Amino acid sequence: GENVEQHPSTLSVQEGDSAVIKCTYSDSASNYFPWYKQELGKGPQLIIDIRSNVGEKKDQRIAVTLNKTAKHFSLHITETQPEDSAVYFCAASMGGAAGNKLTFGGGTRVLVKP
Amino acid sequence: KAGVTQTPRYLIKTRGQQVTLSCSPISGHRSVSWYQQTPGQGLQFLFEYFSETQRNKGNFPGRFSGRQFSNSRSEMNVSTLELGDSALYLCASSPGQGAHEQYFGPGTRLTVT
């Protein structure tokens, strides 16, 4: 089955700096890659996603890039703010017979220091 | 639109008991998936329902089961609870089948003593 690895597990940045989280996936059949932000006591919140026919997607301060050949994708957060502090998860999905099943990475705890 | 709702939010059960958790998806969404979140194993897929049919199932024992009703609301049941079942159980709602965006509820925190 699909396996998703996420690095780093923790990330501490100064407010205003950029943060980058990287994920690799194992199954080339995966075609949908969402990113979630989870704050304490809450469920994961979808913040951005990318499909395999797109190489890059941007939404204000966050962007995601996808390299299908290397089977890795990354989340970039620019001009970080204290409210960006949370745990971030990447995930991969194949669709088709696998339906909406998401395989998640292990998570990255991001701390933005004011 | 209201988001995904899950009830109850917190639950304490004893080993050997059974538990039923409920999820109401976003209005109009027909797919509901369940995930278990633990510090050790992270987020793991339990199963997905679409139009009252189980579409996919993760690697969990048969003690974990679910169902979906005609109004797309879903329940999951865990029988013969074990200490290791203590976790945050998350429900995710999606408009359709196949690699669609999923929106999570706040989860039900289950503690087994």
Cβ distance A36 to B107 less than 8 Å, yes or no, reads no
B102 touches chain A (CB under 8 A): yes
B45 touches chain A (CB under 8 A): yes
B2 touches chain A (CB under 8 A): no
Q: What is the distance between the alpha carbons of residues A2 and A26, in angstroms, rounded to a whole number? A: 6
- Which of chain B's residues have a Cβ under 8 Å away from the Cβ of A106? 42
Is a pLDDT exceeding 80 seen at residue A97? Answer: no
Is a pLDDT exceeding 90 seen at residue A99? Answer: no
Say which of A34, A44, A99 has its CB closest to residue B50.
A99
Phi, psi of B85 (to 5 degrees): -85, -5
pLDDT in tens, A24-46: 999 999 999 999 999 999 999 99
pLDDT in tens, B29-72: 999 999 999 999 999 999 999 999 999 999 999 999 999 999 99
Say which of B55, B98, B102 has its CB closest to residue A102.
B102
Cβ distance A36 to B104 less than 8 Å, yes or no, reads yes
The band of A1, judged by pLDDT with boundaries at 50, 70 and 90, is confident
SS (H, E, C) A72-110: EEEEEECCCCHHHCEEEEEEEECCHHHCCCCEECCCEEE
Q: What is the distance between the alpha carbons of residues B48 and B33, in angstroms, rounded to a whole number? A: 4
pLDDT in tens, A34-77: 999 999 999 999 999 999 888 999 999 999 999 999 999 999 99
